[in-house]
Structure 1
Amino acid sequence: MPTIVHGFDWPDRLVVGTVGQPGSRSFYLQARDGRRVVSVALEKEQSALLAEKIEEILDELMTAEGNPVSVPSVTPLELVDNDPLEQPVEPQFRTGAMTLGWDPSTAQVVIEAYPYDDSDGGDDPFDSDDPFASDAAETETPEPAEMLQVRIPVGTARAFAARTLEIVGAGRPICPLCGRPIDGEGHICGLPDGE
Structure 2
Amino acid sequence: MSHQVHSFEPPERFVAGTVGEPGDRTFFLQARGGGRVISVALEKVQVQLLAEKLEELLLEANKRFGVDMPELPVLAVHDNEPLDTPVDEEFRVGTLGLAFDVDSGTVVIEAIEAGEAEVEIELDEDTDEPPVEDDDDDEDEEPDDDLDRLRVRLTPEATRAFIDRARRVVAAGRPPCPLCGQPLDPAGHLCPRHNGYHR
Do 2:61 and 2:100's aligned partners in 1 also have CA atoms closer than 8 Å?
no
**How far apart in 2 are the matches of 1:39 and 1:66?**
32
| Equivalent residue, structure 1, for 2:167 | 165
| Equivalent residue, structure 2, for 1:25 | 25
The share of aligned pairs that are identical, in percent, is 46
Higher helix share: 2
Do 2:115 and 2:147's aligned partners in 1 also have CA atoms closer than 8 Å?
no
User: Across the two proteins, how many residue pairs are aligned to each other?
Assistant: 180
What's the CA shift for 1:155? Answer: 0.5
Provide Cα deviations, 1:38-92, integer angstroms capped at 9, x if missing partner.
1100111111110111112123333x1551x322131255642111000000011
| Equivalent residue, structure 2, for 1:145 | 147
TM-score, with normalisation over the residues of structure 1? 0.83
| Equivalent residue, structure 1, for 2:91 | 93
Q: Which runs of 5+ in 1 are unaligned?
A: 126-130
**How far apart in 2 are the matches of 1:103 and 1:117?**
27
**How far apart in 2 are the matches of 1:53 and 1:66?**
17
Q: 1:100 to 1:165 in 2, by over 3 A?
A: same
Do 1:51 and 1:161's aligned partners in 2 also have CA atoms closer than 8 Å?
yes
**How far apart in 2 are the matches of 1:3 and 1:138?**
19
Do 1:95 and 1:114's aligned partners in 2 also have CA atoms closer than 8 Å?
yes
Instruction: Please identify, of 173-182 and 109-118, the stretch whose mean Cα deviation from structure 2 is larger.
Output: 173-182
TM-score, with normalisation over the residues of structure 2? 0.82
Query: RMSD across aligned C-alpha pairs, in angstroms?
Result: 2.1
| Equivalent residue, structure 2, for 1:128 | none
Secondary structure (helix, strand or coil) at the match of 2:139 reads coil
**How far apart in 2 are the matches of 1:100 and 1:65?**
16
Equivalent residue letter for 1:105: D
Q: Which runs of 5+ in 2 are unaligned?
A: 123-132, 194-199
Is structure 2 residue 39 aligned with structure 1 residue 39? Answer: yes
